[in-house]
């Protein structure tokens, strides 16, 4: 059996301890470079322009136009075959028209308000995307740390079981144990080596996940382990619910979408309203005819229109939007229900993970004491079997792994509570 080299262990330790890289650093990198966040920010810029477009509908429109017409006739005959008189034309017409909508059934106002809500919606969706991406980044960061911890625990286990196998081999030669005892020792060592290989593979997977979400890993950087959230978390379930009612992006999105559906009904109804426009046009024509060389004309025009459509198109459009409004109302109510349940579940998970962490901490202490005592009794020739030693060792390894997982789960539970309350965003995390 080969013992895991001390050199390999040192290399792994160097990877973990060379320099510092905090969770906050990882989140800042994610905030700056994540492609999903960049795409969502682009969408926010698009909505700003949509708002500007809606705003421009309130201003008058100015139209400039010009026409140049040149006609040259080389030969023209009358019906009797005689030459006809030819008049070539060379005309140019230009005009400027100023037009203003005076009345449109509040269509422009409602569309503008909808565009404002659209901008708010994009902001809320950006926050929601931040929450989702940051949570993935935290999971990836802590997942890689956990992978390294498990590798270290498995490595320690292999080294100790290698030593145990060597001791048992010597004891067998002195007839102090049986071949069965040695076989048990060898089996445990082989299992530990398999666990070590699995831990190595887990690191590869965890690194890929880290790089996919956060970015490339500097092999000279240590991922600094933390045990508690780097920002304050709600101190009670009541506080968490109260915050979430104001900050939850899912609630905000549902409320905005319902507001937009109300405006869609108003916009649909405005299609049945009359519209009024006022326009002023000045035109200039040069070489209009043989009689007139130039002419200027001013036209002031007021237009009122009232559309009527057969087939019930407008009415159906109104009914459609009323149905959408009803649907958005139900979705809003469901969002409130899901929000309450989500915050409650997150708080419950936090409390249970805290209790589990304390229990596992006690488990590790007890397992360490038991393993130390049983190992001492075994090496002293007291009434302890190889199985007792291997079993106590297995219990200790499992307890240490459980502790590493419990510490990570407790940290994740804190950040998931922040997410459920709507606080896992760049502003609250101070990433800007």
Q: How confident is the model at residue 87 (pLDDT cuts 50, 70, 90)?
A: low
Residue among 166, 165, 169 nearest 189 (CA)? 165
Q: Per residue in 329-379, pLDDT tens?
A: 999 999 999 999 999 999 999 999 999 999 999 999 999 999 999 988 888
Residues 6+ apart with CB under 8 A from 385: 181, 378
Measured distance CA(33)–CA(25) in Å, rounded: 12
CATH of domain 23-68+89-420: 1.20.1600.10
Q: Which range, 1-10, 208-217, 375-384, is most confident?
A: 208-217
Residue among 19, 26, 14 nearest 221 (CA)? 19
The SS3 of residue 123 is helix
For residue 2, pLDDT over 90 is answered with no
User: Which pair of structure tokens corresponds to residue 299?
Assistant: 């036209």
Q: Which range, 27-41, 97-111, 386-400, is most confident?
A: 27-41
What distances in angstroms separate CA 428 from CA 26, 230, 233, 347, one per listed residue?
A: 15, 11, 11, 19
pLDDT at 222: 80
Measured distance CA(317)–CA(319) in Å, rounded: 5
| Contact (CB, 8 A) for 413 and 349 | yes
What angle do helix axes 237-247 and 249-270 make, rounded to 10 degrees? Answer: 30
Measured distance CA(301)–CA(36) in Å, rounded: 51
Q: What angle do CA 262, 265, 268 make, to 5 degrees?
A: 150
Q: Per residue in 268-293, pLDDT tens?
A: 999 888 999 999 988 888 765 555 56
| Contact (CB, 8 A) for 383 and 377 | yes
């Amino acid at each position: 059996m080969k013992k895991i080299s001390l050199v390999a262990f040192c290399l792994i330790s160097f990877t973990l301890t060379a320099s510092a890289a905090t969770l906050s650093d990882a989140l800042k990198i994610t905030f700056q470079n994540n492609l999903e966040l960049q795409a969502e920010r682009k969408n926010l810029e698009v909505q700003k322009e949509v708002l500007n477009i809606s705003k421009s509908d309130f201003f008058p429109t100015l139209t400039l136009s010009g026409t140049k017409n040149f006609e040259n006739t080389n030969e023209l005959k009358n019906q009797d075959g005689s030459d006809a008189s030819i008049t070539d034309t060379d005309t140019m017409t230009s005009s400027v028209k100023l037009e203003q909508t005076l009345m449109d059934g509040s269509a422009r106002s409602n569309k503008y308000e909808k565009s404002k809500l659209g901008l708010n919606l994009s902001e809320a969706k950006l926050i929601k995307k931040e929450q989702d991406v940051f949570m993935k980044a935290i999971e990836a960061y802590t997942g890689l740390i956990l992978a390294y911890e498990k590798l270290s625990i498995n490595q320690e286990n292999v080294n100790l079981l290698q030593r145990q196998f060597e001791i048992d081999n010597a004891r067998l030669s002195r007839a102090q144990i049986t071949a069965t005892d040695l076989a048990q020792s060898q089996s445990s060592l082989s299992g530990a080596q398999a666990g070590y290989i699995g831990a190595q593979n887990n690191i590869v997977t965890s690194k890929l996940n880290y790089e996919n979400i956060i970015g490339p890993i500097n092999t000279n950087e240590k991922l600094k382990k933390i045990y508690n959230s780097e920002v304050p978390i709600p101190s009670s379930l009541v506080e968490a619910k109260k915050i979430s009612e104001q900050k939850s992006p899912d609630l905000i999105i549902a409320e905005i979408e319902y507001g937009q559906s109300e405006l869609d009904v108003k916009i649909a109804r405005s299609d049945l309203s009359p519209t009024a426009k006022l326009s002023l046009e000045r035109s200039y024509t040069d070489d209009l005819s043989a009689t007139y060389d130039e002419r200027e004309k001013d036209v002031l025009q007021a237009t009122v229109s009232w559309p009527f459509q057969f087939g019930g198109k407008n009415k159906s459009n109104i009914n459609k939007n009323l149905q959408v409004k009803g649907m958005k109302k139900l979705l809003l109510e469901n969002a409130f229900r899901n929000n309450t349940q989500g915050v409650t579940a997150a708080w419950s998970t936090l409390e249970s993970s805290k209790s589990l962490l304390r229990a596992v901490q006690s488990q590790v202490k007890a397992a360490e004491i038991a393993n130390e005592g049983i190992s001492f009794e075994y090496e002293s020739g007291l009434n302890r079997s190889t199985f007792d030693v291997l079993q106590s060792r297995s219990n200790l390894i499992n307890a240490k792994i459980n502790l590493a997982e419990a510490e990570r789960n407790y940290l994740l539970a804190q950040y998931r509570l922040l997410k459920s309350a709507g606080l896992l965003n760049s502003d609250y995390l101070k990433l800007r």
